[in-house]
Structure 1
Amino acid sequence: MLTVWYNTRCPVCDAGISRQKRRLIEAIKAGRIEFRDINLEPAALAGFGASLEDIRRRLHATDAEGRLLVGADVAIAVWKVTPGEGWLATLFGNPVALPLTRFAYDRFADLLYAWNRRMGRW
């Protein structure tokens, strides 16, 4: 199972995950993917060395093999299982594009994190 940890206090993050949940209803029911609010379980990924602030800054997930995925790699994993979005995983997750995808994701995540902190969403 892919378990995605995200920050529900971020309106952009929450809206994005809500959209994915609607598209992944069958996968959620079948237990192939799960979305969890890190604010309810702040130490959930401490065993991986991921703090609450790390997860508020970037998406985190654990895959079926128990590996930790972070940032763009989470988005790619979710796109792979989302009907009609596999092409996004192929486009942005290929070996040539992946470094740029990770860089762009991280910069956007940094800006979003700073905006949320300024707005007092913690």
Structure 2
Amino acid sequence: MPKPLLTVWYNTRCPVCDAGISRQKRRLIEAIKAGRIEFRDINSEPAALAGYGVLLEDIRRRLHATDAGGRLLVGADVAVAVLRTTPGEGWLATLFGNPVILPLTRLAYDRFADLLYAWNRRKGRW
């Protein structure tokens, strides 16, 4: 099977992250079956992105992904890439990923991710 176009690493121990990815998986069933996109639990492979200098805690804080060319995507850029491949959600990728709005998308994503990370730490979800 060829290398996926996008491999997304996320934290299954975060209930919000897990629910969001589960929703996307249901929407992307054909792409997953065809091997175009893959979702991986970082808790099962904590050193998976060590070659990029990415620590386990980094992935617990924000989504990370690699594309078919081996390029690392982080945070809002991952969300936009997933939306771009999701049937019926390409318009959201166009809206939030356009060059004018993308800096605001990244800022909003990062602030939300920081709050979610702090909440998960307080709840002991590791």
TM-score in terms of structure 2 length: 0.96
**1:85 matched to 2:85:** no
**1:95 matched to 2:99:** yes
* 1:9-88 equivalences in 2 (<5 Å): 9-88=13-92
- Counterpart amino acid of residue 64 in structure 1: A
Partner of 1:105: 109
- The CA distance in 1 between the partners of 2:109 and 2:53, in whole Å, is 21
Partner of 1:4: 8
- The CA distance in 2 between the partners of 1:107 and 1:4, in whole Å, is 20
List, as ranges, runs of 4+ consecutive aligned residues in structure 1 with deviation greater than 3 Å: none
Note the alpha carbon deviations across 1:65-89, whole angstroms, 9 max, x for none: 1100000000000000000000010
Q: Give aligned pairs, total.
A: 122
Note the alpha carbon deviations across 1:6-26, whole angstroms, 9 max, x for none: 000000000000000000000
Structure 1 unaligned spans of 5+: none
- The CA distance in 1 between the partners of 2:61 and 2:32, in whole Å, is 24
SS of the residue corresponding to residue 5 of structure 1 reads strand
- The CA distance in 2 between the partners of 1:48 and 1:88, in whole Å, is 28
- The CA distance in 2 between the partners of 1:33 and 1:59, in whole Å, is 14
- The CA distance in 1 between the partners of 2:98 and 2:28, in whole Å, is 23
* 1:106-121 equivalences in 2 (<5 Å): 106-121=110-125
| Identity between Structure 1 and Structure 2 (%) | 89
